[in-house]
Chain A
Amino acid sequence: MSATAAPRSDRLVFAMLQGRVFGVAAFLVLLCLGFGTASRNFLTVSNANTIALNGAILVVVACAEAIVVITRNYDLSVGSVVALSSYVGLDVVRRYPEAGPILILAPVLIGTACGAFNGFLVAVCRLPSVIATLGTMSIFRGLAFLYAGGHQIDPKDLPPWVAATVGGHVLGLSALVLLGFAIAVLAALGLRYLSVGREIYAIGSNPDAAPFYGLRSERISFRAYLICGTLTGLAGFLFGGRVSYVVPYLAQGLELTALAAVVLGGISVLGGSGSVFGAALGALTIATIENGLILLGASEFVRQFIYGAIIVLAVITDAVVQQRVRVLLKARRQRVRAA
């Protein structure tokens, strides 16, 4: 008796557990069609470019957040990590212009350090991740502010390689977009082909089973936060490279859009399921929504409301799907028993 013997409805639901990416993609397509008919300016190449550019950074942050959410945790500090890594990292870059692109490690490693601190609080001190990252959210931003000391960084003071990385083009495509795409692909590949990636899904899927497989949950959660911080640090670099002035107040509220992208993309807040491609698509969808709403002249309120509605609806859908799967599984067991 194998899974291929399951009736059509079973397969549909199991596909939903793993294949929600397709749902998001479909939603995105519908969205584009909708905006396209509502506004003439939407379906243009330059507009698509704008969406892609705006979305690229969110894609990176969404991948980072997704990795943490898969382990049944949250990271509410991503906005602050972006601010801290952006300011301090770019300040380092500014001070040593001769060092060259290797200094991209500055913001990235700052992000890693932040991730390590989050990981320490959640994995070692066993704090609930909400509390921990709510606290680090303000700690990191405060540190950024202290470091900045009231100043700001003018992008003109940064060495040219920064602008080349963030604003440049490779083979006609924006480097930023390519980078975002590359990160999403790398994250997806890592989660699928690295042991730590499978372990991340494992402890999100069933934390109780971990000890029986010799898995140390704390270590894996810590690594998830570490990866998240590293990616967020990179996002900080990209963010800082794109704004007119780098200030410690950057990226406030980024955690909200990141989480919205993640749940929209099919990552379950109950852990263990979803793919980073979904999160990336979710990020693109959010960027599309923003763009479309601006083009339509919709008010700020509509945007905020939509984020809220997306999160609530996505989480409800996830709960309903998981419930449906449970019911179907129970029915399946009875069929077997009766056989």
Chain B
Amino acid sequence: MSEPAARLDLRHLSKSFGGIRALHDVSLRVAAGSVHALLGENGAGKSTLVKIATGLLQADAGDMLLDGAACRFTSPMQARRAGVVAVYQDPKMFPHLDVAENIFMGQYRTGPGGLIDRAVMYRAATALLRTIESDLDPTALVAGLSVGEVQFVEFARALADRADRVLFLDEPTASLSPAETGRLFRVIRGMRDAGTAVVIISHRLEELRDLVDTVTVLRDGGHVVTAPATALSGAEIVRAMVGRTLSLVAPRPAPTAGAETRLAVRGLTLAGSFDDVGFDIRAGEIVGMFGLVGAGRTEIAQALFGITPPDAGSVAVDGRAVAPRSPRRMLAAGLAYVPEDREKQGLVPSLSLRLNVAATVLDRLARWGVLRRAREVALAVRSIAALAIRTNGTEAVVSSLSGGNRQKVVLAKWLAIDPKVLLLDEPTHGIDVGAKAQVHAIVAGLAARGVAVLLISSDLPEILAMSDRVLVVAGGRIVARFDADEASEVGILTAASGLREAA
């Protein structure tokens, strides 16, 4: 019996960035007229796979077949024209234009004289929107739409482009209301019945249960299992996602009992991002914060640091209340925030290591406003030594350093203020294994010296190895708290996915 050619056949794809292996020998067959879930932790390789399939990235090795014919996309537009398209969580649109204009941008139907036939455009838009069960007014400005509505416009655009052979949906329900989610699922079923191969990346396992035909789990850039959805239970899926072989760091000594509370957070709320967040961190403690994409962890940290001040809640550092109204304030209170977006928020990549490291302590290093170069150099040299930064010297331009070393520069900058509380947001994201271990050692050393550490991470083994306690965030709330001895990868991920603890 010969199998019909799969709609999309990805074969032995591999992709590395610098020293990091994002995908290794991953194969995926998606059948036409099916809904296929692509699951895995953050960093498992799902987005990389989708980017390769839609032409944003090129694979280092492996090939692709679309309906049995070999293909290779070098741009998203090319993939789109071949019928392969991805819809992301926050699709980029033109807010000042209306829905129909966004749908048909670049391919307006013109009448005589090259003028756009707007009546036809609006009719076509309405028809498209109706096929996806949307009653959006095609003349409405995109600026006025909610995130969910914008996603529907993006679907309509995919349909308009006849990109209905393979449709990738990245976390489609993350920003949708329950009503919109139901509608979306009906639309997906409709597309499946019409023959489209729909691939959904999501963590909402329970939600997808009734929708999905096939499940593929990736882990650590590699393929773990592909099976019909009915054959795997939620627990089995979770277990397939976790349990990576990489073990990164030696276990830490337990923090001293009875240490005083360095950071006390109560009732932190920011409308639309997180609600009633409260926790303590004691001196020498590392508290891990885990959550799926969109859970609100970065928002919490940035609110704590005063970048986006919260609507309500209180923060106390070493017992003294501080209102998180600006980063300057929180820095003065002893907080340090190492951001997730290293290049844009953590560093000035065009400047040297020395300048970057000194950025937070310029006043301290200067005398009456005059810079003391010797002191800056000394600080830079100390930092290079203490953090084992591989560089040509203090004047090396930061953009020339590798990812791991750049992160160390950011760390050095914040360690220079001798912080009481250190907020780390995905500190080892995009760093090679060796540097990861070094960063962990540095953080552990800081904790040993009494610094209170909040470690935000999507890397389960990292969280488990480093944390004394784990907070699980989902939908802007803390949904679970574990001590080190009771935390497990399965337990954490289950809580984060909104599943109840499976047998």
Contacts and interface: CB of A to CB of B under 8 A. Distances in A.
A14 B115 contact: no
Interface string A1-42: 111101000100010011000000000000000000000000
Contacts of B141: 3, 14, 17-18
Contacts of B114: 194-195
Interface in B126-149: 135-137, 140-141, 143-149
A243 interface: no
A209 B271 contact: no
A336 B176 CA distance: 8
B122 interface: no
Contact of B272 (A205, A208, A325, A337): A337
B270 to A, nearest CB: 10
Given A1-B180, A4-B137, A208 B92 contact: yes
B143 A202 contact: no
A67 to B, nearest CB: 15
B143 A325 contact: yes
A333 interface: yes
B101 interface: yes
A303 to B, nearest CB: 33
A213 B144 CA distance: 20
Interface residues of A, number: 39
A198 B115 CA distance: 11
Given A10-B144, A193-B118, A212 B76 contact: yes
A206 interface: yes
A272 interface: yes
Contacts of B136: 2-3
Contacts of B96: 17-18, 201, 204-205, 272-273
Interface in A198-218: 198-199, 201-202, 204-206, 208-209, 211-215
Main secondary structure of the interface of A (DSSP, over half): helix
Interface string A315-339: 0000000000100011111101101
B105 A198 contact: yes
A35 to B, nearest CB: 34
B146 A2 contact: no
Contacts of A202: 94, 97, 105
A212 B92 contact: yes
B234 to A, nearest CB: 25
Contact of A337 (B92, B144, B175): B175
B47 interface: no
B177 interface: yes
A332 B150 CA distance: 13
Contacts of A211: 76
B115 A193 contact: yes
B228 interface: no
A214 B272 contact: no
A212 B102 CA distance: 11
- Interface size class of chain B, counting residues whose CB lies under 8 Å from the partner chain: 35 or more
Interface string A176-208: 000000000000000011110011011011101
Interface string B148-188: 11000000000000000000000000010111100000000
Given A195-B116, A201-B96, A330-B272, A2 B140 contact: yes
A86 to B, nearest CB: 31
Contact of B105 (A204, A213, A325): A213
Contacts of B180: 1, 336
Contacts of B106: 199, 213-215
B108 interface: yes
B93 interface: yes
Q: Which of B106, B143, B147 has the most CB of A within 10 A?
A: B143
Contacts of A337: 175, 177, 272
A1 B140 contact: no
Contact of B108 (A195, A205, A209): A195
A225 B152 CA distance: 35
A258 B440 CA distance: 59
B256 interface: no
A235 B427 CA distance: 59
Interface string B313-351: 000000000000000000000000000000000000000
B393 interface: no
B145 A272 contact: no
B95 interface: yes
Contacts of A332: 144, 146
Interface of A: 1-4, 6, 10, 14, 17-18, 192-195, 198-199, 201-202, 204-206, 208-209, 211-215, 272-273, 325, 329-334, 336-337, 339
9 contacts: A1-B180, A2-B135, A195-B116, A209-B94, A212-B76, A213-B105, A214-B106, A334-B272, A339-B178
Given A1-B146, A213-B106, 20 more contacts: A2-B140, A3-B137, A4-B140, A14-B141, A14-B143, A17-B96, A17-B143, A18-B141, A192-B116, A198-B105, A198-B116, A205-B94, A212-B92, A214-B106, A215-B105, A272-B94, A272-B96, A329-B143, A330-B272, A332-B146
What 9 pairs between A and B have smallest CB-CB spacing? A209-B92, A3-B140, A334-B272, A205-B96, A272-B96, A205-B94, A193-B115, A339-B177, A336-B146
